[in-house]
Structure 1
Amino acid sequence: MIEQVTVYLAILAVIVVPGFLAAFLSPKWDD
């Protein structure tokens, strides 16, 4: 069970972090 949760969190982080950084560092949302 713990392994599945770790893998799920890892995948979620890999998907969310780059998108969050791109949206946060890019000023296009404020345009």
Structure 2
Amino acid sequence: MKIRFKRSYIGIPYVLFMVLFVLLPLFFVAFYAFT
């Protein structure tokens, strides 16, 4: 249970960083295209 909690604790910020890393350039491209 302790290892599982640690894995989820490390996994959540990693997924958040990956989503941010993928969506941020997409938002920049969309912003550049509309302006």
TM-score when normalising by structure 1: 0.68
Structure having the higher Rg: 2
TM-score when normalising by structure 2: 0.63
Gaps of 5+ in 1: none
Alignment root-mean-square deviation, CA: 1.6
Q: Select the structure with the greater relative contact order (CA < 8 A; seq sep ≥ 6).
A: 1
Gaps of 5+ in 2: 1-7
- Percent identity, aligned pairs only, is 19
